[in-house]
Amino acid sequence: MADEPDDNSYVLEDQIGHLLRRAHQRATQIFLETFANADLTPTQWAALSKLASETAASQNHLGRMTAMDPATIQGVIRRLEARGLVGRTDDPNDRRRTLLRLTEAGEAMVEKVTAIAFQVSARTLAPLDDDDRARLLAMLKKLV
């Protein structure tokens, strides 16, 4: 393969997977520090924020929109339901399905922590100038 060097000069710290993992660890730590009082995990916040923008979604569809596998989204929803932040309603278009919706408490939580979520992004991207932030986000969107 043309992209592989001829020698054994592999440097872990220069590899995309390693750098993405380290960046993810940093972003997660910032999230946990910033959201400490809200008692939400990154996956729980992803589900709540997506339900806030979508109004309602099936569990399967919500999992796809938030890039969570079925087992993960199931656990996330179970915990959010136990806290009274998410509820289920029958799907009027398909009796076999239920739809997830934010409860009043869920809506209040989203309203309360949305500004905090913006702080997480700002703190995570703080080492970059505005142009680098825009480029990084654009490049990451191309990768996913």
Return the pLDDT at 6. Answer: 62
Given the structure tokens 């959201």, which residue do they identify?
A: 35
Structural domain includes residue 4: no
Number of folded domains in the chain? 1
pLDDT tens-place string over residues 105-139:
999 999 999 999 999 999 999 999 999 999 999 99
Structural domain includes residue 7: no
pLDDT at 5 over 70: no
- Find the domain containing 91 and state its range: 12-143
Work out the angle at residue 71's Cα, subtended by the Cα atoms of residues 24 and 32, and round it to the nearest 5 degrees. Answer: 30
Structural domain includes residue 2: no
Q: How many CB atoms lie within 10 A of CB 41?
A: 15
Helix (H, G, I), strand (E, B) or coil at 89: strand
CATH classification at residue 37 = 1.10.10.10
Backbone phi, then psi, for 69, in 5-degree steps? -70, 165
Length of the chain: 144
Helix (H, G, I), strand (E, B) or coil at 83: coil
pLDDT tens-place string over residues 35-88:
999 999 999 999 999 999 998 999 999 999 999 999 999 999 999 999 999 999
Structural domain includes residue 26: yes
Structural domain includes residue 1: no
Distance CA 63, CA 47 (A): 8
7 token code pair:
């020698």
